[in-house]
Chains A and B, each alone.
Chain A
């Protein structure tokens, strides 16, 4: 499932963009050092393959509804983690542009959710160890199914985390998790079956193809588990740093999510000070004045939710009336501008005029 721009706050979007572009730059650098140039067209065409394959539907066994392929795991298995990640990222980029799946700010999150997990966590930590001691069809099947399930669970969970951190949705954490994880368990199982099927099909039909790709791609031996963990730790620290730095401009969302995560409206004493420090920092650094719908300024405490009834702005009838009139006027004039330009163009005929 694709994360959407409208559910994101800029801080969360930027943080995941930072993590994703770091991983992209690192993968590109790694590949450049060790890759056969034969891989360049191969990766491109395989991206197009995933794209085309995603459009073929099949009937999910036992349900009658139709599903399609995700593809992250197949790419990781065949191309290895670095190239697989770059191809997956390019597929998601094109989807974001042409099908508007999610949007441009959310693209960072989507590449993270659907690319990082299968390529850099599930593949080296689950798939490789299982298949390492001999790739029989049965082992490949087991490894693919477990990998696909775990990958999608991680992806779905991080959609929840991203939504919570952004604080645009009211959905409680537990409800959201309970909605997302079981659905993606089912999707993961089907994805795993398809992944296993395709990899085994290719192995059975043309084993030399997989081997020739394996020899062209950079050695996976360089990707030790320690390195993966080290890299992820660095990314996590940087992401966390960026996130908290940005979050100072938006303490509402973060506080709110902390509150949901801890299941109680108040945080321990110490964090209270942090919150108020953040708030005063925000007042100093915010270059956008508070918007009128925002909560009225109260004493800076993090227990806002508890006293929310009192902290609503007292909206006078007059203010809201002018709001409605203003909205109508703005929308009408925006539409008029569009219509007038269209008419002018049509009058002067041709598309080179304006």
Chain B
């Protein structure tokens, strides 16, 4: 991914989070807790679980549909980060070649089943994280984390970081452009130029931090950050949390796919 692309992606996901749908209107705490519960439940499935994971796709699909999140944009991001999980999972079929089933002579080994399980878990957990941020503003998430007991200092750190990512990325983007204009894409890409580029960016960052601090002081900063938008847990939040909890429990406990499959076989 090129620099510009990364920058615009970050900005785009930020604008998504300011939409106004029923998912966006939920309290950030609700979404953070529900997402964490979802991730832990998915990951708690044993190594060879495949069919048990399928009903869980209901959650991202509901988020996509109700939260009005563009599907392809998220899927593309999921694919970009899939490298490590696929790389490690890929070895399962090589090392675990015990046959688990055979359909009409096609033998399916345990390795392929556990590989498929890793991929399904990967899709579910990563899309959950991205959907959380696409439907909740980052300051909202910080607020939720603070209410859930994360240290104040870390929260203010996150808020600052988020606020200045865009500023510093623009700064860095200008420098990268300038390097490219002068080097015709080939020369000047080496370590030496890179180091002085980063060093200069660092000095500018420090100077900026100094100015920010003075600006904050003159506005009465005493060491704590305040939130303007008040959030509160409403009836819909409690309903969503309860429903999510029940659904997660049912999907984790009962073999939904097996039950539906047997029913369907009975009908045909």
Is A28 in contact with chain B by the CB < 8 A criterion?
Answer: yes
Contacts of A326 in B (CB 8 A): 51, 256-262, 264
Is B100 in contact with chain A by the CB < 8 A criterion?
Answer: yes
- Measured CB to CB, the closest approach of chain A to B99, in angstroms, equals 8
Contacts of A175 in B (CB 8 A): 91
Q: Is the CB of B158 within 8 A of A93?
A: yes
Total A-B contacts with CB atoms under 8 angstroms apart: 362
Q: A53-B172, A59-B189 are in contact. Are A252 and B85 (CB under 8 A)?
A: no
Q: Which of A219-227, A262-270, A332-340 contacts B (4 or more CB under 8 A)?
A: A332-340
Is B62 in contact with chain A by the CB < 8 A criterion?
Answer: yes
Query: What bracket does the count of chain A residues touching chain B fall in?
Result: 35 or more
Q: Is the CB of B91 within 8 A of A330?
A: no
Bound form: Cα–Cα A333–B215 in Å: 55
Bound form: Cα–Cα A292–B157 in Å: 46
Bound form: Cα–Cα A32–B155 in Å: 13
- Measured CB to CB, the closest approach of chain B to A250, in angstroms, equals 8
Contacts of B117 in A (CB 8 A): 168
Q: Is the CB of B96 within 8 A of A9?
A: no
Bound form: Cα–Cα A89–B158 in Å: 9
Query: What bracket does the count of chain B residues touching chain A fall in?
Result: 35 or more
Q: Is the CB of B208 within 8 A of A45?
A: yes
- Measured CB to CB, the closest approach of chain A to B61, in angstroms, equals 4
B161 partner, pick from A48, A334, A339, beta carbons under 8 A: A48
Q: Is the CB of A44 within 8 A of B261?
A: no
Q: A58-B194, A169-B118 are in contact. Are A86 and B168 (CB under 8 A)?
A: no
- Measured CB to CB, the closest approach of chain B to A306, in angstroms, equals 13
A-B contact pairs, 11 of them (CB 8 A): A41-B209, A46-B209, A49-B168, A169-B88, A170-B91, A205-B203, A213-B206, A291-B255, A320-B101, A329-B261, A338-B62
Q: Which 5 A-B pairs have the closest CB atoms?
A: A44-B160, A326-B261, A201-B199, A197-B195, A322-B261
Q: Which A residues form the contact surface with B (CB < 8 A)? A: 1-10, 13-14, 24-25, 28-29, 31-32, 37-38, 40-49, 51-53, 55-61, 66, 69, 86-87, 89-91, 93-94, 96-105, 163, 167-172, 175-176, 190, 193-194, 197-198, 201-202, 205-206, 209, 213, 252-253, 288-289, 291-294, 308-309, 312, 315, 318-327, 329-331, 334-335, 337-339, 341-342, 345, 351-352, 354
